[in-house]
């Protein structure tokens, strides 16, 4: 007998509160998204937990960010507002404590546990992801395919189970991650396109035109184009965030070993704000201070900040990317690492500024997101032998 999405959410609310209280009696399966906890990660973990709950119980999605950080992600808060009470965030639970008891883990939207969650590795039973395979957890069932949105892979597992509510949840990250299937963004694959077509036909779209204010508060829209526009607007509401919050809003961290076996803590923040606009707002010295504080608070060796967005070039709005690089004070040969980064084809770096140990570049390969940039930077660190 199939479990409806509605009844899954009701059961989940109960199981989540038992998990939070550490009183869940049986052997649970946790479905963990990645630590940037963007819309793709949040929807993928919820929807994969629903798919798995057809055969396993209890299955509980875990949002890999702190509950208070949801305020940094207005698109997620809005789309998932009805499901929110049933959701578990990483700071709601004692993951290390849970890992001491019978526990199965599925990773979604990443394929290797975050460096601070490496203790989960032996517990990972399955992986559904769209990032470059890091080769961890070889025993796990794995589905790693290059699609715009991990949600596409999860949706494919839900054929016959998608009601209008779930269809809209699934559609949202696929539209965001593919820039509404735009050809210029070069992200959508035939699988994403097919998924959007299928899911759009299942959503109950509204018939009446809403004001733009209504749209961002209710997401009650007439079709996928309006849904994309509303989500993109919500996602872009970052101008109220401090420089420090911009660095932590969409962040991932890894541990990479160099050629001499020394571990490097590498963090990459993605900031949906062109550097020019950011510098105009805060000034470069303030951004650099925030970045240094960030390096210190996360105990990083290297921090990369990928800024991106549309900015006016000769009166025309053009999408572009920039990259900032900062190091912990004790890192030797910072200049040499920067030089190696500038030689990466995937980045195409053109120098902008360098002052006070922070380097800024235009990233001329604007199509390269963190998905492409992380493996390339990892390759640089793996070569370091000084
Ligand atoms: Mn993703």
- Reported as a single tens digit per residue, the pLDDT across 117-163 is 999 999 999 999 999 999 999 999 999 999 999 999 999 999 999 99
pLDDT tier at 26, thresholds 50, 70, 90: confident
pLDDT tens digits for range 173-202 = 999 999 999 887 788 999 999 999 999 999
Residue 129 CA to ligand 1 centre (angstroms): 7
Residue 113 CA to ligand 1 centre (angstroms): 15
Given a cut of 80, is residue 214 above it in pLDDT?
no
User: CB–CB of 226/350 below 8 Å?
Assistant: no
Position with higher pLDDT, 180 vs 312: 180
Residue 32 CA to ligand 1 centre (angstroms): 13
pLDDT tens digits for range 341-355 = 999 999 999 999 887
Virtual torsion, Cα 196, 311, 367, 39, nearest 10 deg: -40
What string of DSSP letters covers 24-73?
A: --S--EEEE--TT--HHHHHHHHHHHHHHTTTSSSEEEEESS-GGGGGG-
Phi then psi dihedrals of residue 110, to 5 deg: -165, 160
- Residue 204 per-residue DSSP state: -
Q: What's the token pair of residue 210?
A: 């809403």
Q: How far apart are CA 60 and CA 12, in angstroms?
A: 7
Residue 149 CA to ligand 1 centre (angstroms): 5
Residue 130 CA to ligand 1 centre (angstroms): 7
Residue 110 CA to ligand 1 centre (angstroms): 8
Residue 109 CA to ligand 1 centre (angstroms): 5
Residue 173 CA to ligand 1 centre (angstroms): 8
Residue 382 CA to ligand 1 centre (angstroms): 25
Given a cut of 80, is residue 110 above it in pLDDT?
yes
Task: Give me the domains of the chain, ranges plus CATH numbers.
Answer: 5-200 (3.90.1640.10), 243-383 (3.10.310.20)
Q: How far apart are CA 188 and CA 147, in angstroms?
A: 7
Residue 356 CA to ligand 1 centre (angstroms): 34
Residue 210 CA to ligand 1 centre (angstroms): 30
Averaged pLDDT score across all residues of the chain: 94
Residue 39 CA to ligand 1 centre (angstroms): 8
Largest CA distance in the chain: 64
Q: How far apart are CA 253 and CA 268, in angstroms?
A: 6
Q: What is the pTM of this model?
A: 0.88
User: What pLDDT does residue 211 have?
Assistant: 66
Residue 177 CA to ligand 1 centre (angstroms): 7
């Amino acid at each position: 007998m199939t479990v409806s999405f509605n009844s899954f959410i009701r059961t989940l609310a109960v199981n989540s509160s038992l998990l939070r209280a550490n009183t869940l009696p049986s052997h649970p399966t946790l479905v963990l998204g990645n630590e940037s906890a963007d819309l793709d990660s949040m929807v993928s973990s919820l929807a994969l937990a629903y798919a798995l709950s057809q055969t396993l119980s209890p299955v509980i999605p875990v949002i890999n960010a702190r509950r208070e950080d949801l305020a940094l992600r207005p698109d997620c808060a809005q789309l998932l507002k009805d499901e929110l009470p049933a959701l578990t965030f990483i700071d709601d639970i004692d993951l290390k404590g849970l890992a001491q008891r019978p526990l199965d883990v599925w990773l979604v939207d990443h394929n290797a546990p975050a460096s601070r969650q490496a203790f989960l590795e032996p517990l990972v039973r399955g992986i559904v992801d769209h990032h470059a395979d890091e080769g961890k957890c070889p025993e796990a069932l794995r589905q790693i395919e290059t699609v715009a949105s991990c949600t596409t892979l999860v949706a494919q597992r839900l054929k016959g189970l998608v009601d209008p509510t779930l269809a809209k949840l699934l559609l949202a990250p696929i539209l965001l991650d593919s820039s509404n299937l735009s050809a210029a963004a070069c992200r959508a694959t035939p699988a994403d396109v097919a998924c959007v077509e299928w899911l759009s036909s299942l959503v109950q779209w509204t018939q009446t035109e809403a004001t733009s204010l209504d749209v961002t508060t209710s997401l009650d829209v007439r079709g996928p184009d309006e849904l994309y526009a509303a989500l993109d607007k919500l996602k872009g509401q970052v101008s109220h965030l401090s420089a420090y919050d911009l660095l932590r809003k969409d962040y991932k961290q890894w541990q990479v070993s160099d050629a001499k076996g020394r571990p490097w803590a590498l963090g990459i923040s993605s900031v949906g704000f062109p550097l020019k606009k950011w510098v105009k707002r805060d000034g470069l010295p303030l951004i650099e201070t925030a970045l240094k504080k960030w390096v210190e608070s996360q105990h990083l060796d290297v921090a990369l900040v990928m800024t991106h967005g549309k900015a006016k070039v000769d009166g025309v709005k053009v999408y572009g990317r920039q990259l900032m690089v900062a190091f912990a004070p004790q890192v030797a040969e910072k200049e040499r690492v920067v030089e190696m980064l500038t030689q990466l084809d995937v980045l195409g770096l053109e120098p902008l500024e360098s002052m006070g140990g922070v380097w800024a570049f235009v990233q001329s390969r604007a199509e390269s997101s963190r998905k492409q940039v992380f493996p390339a930077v990892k390759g640089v660190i793996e070569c370091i032998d000084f």
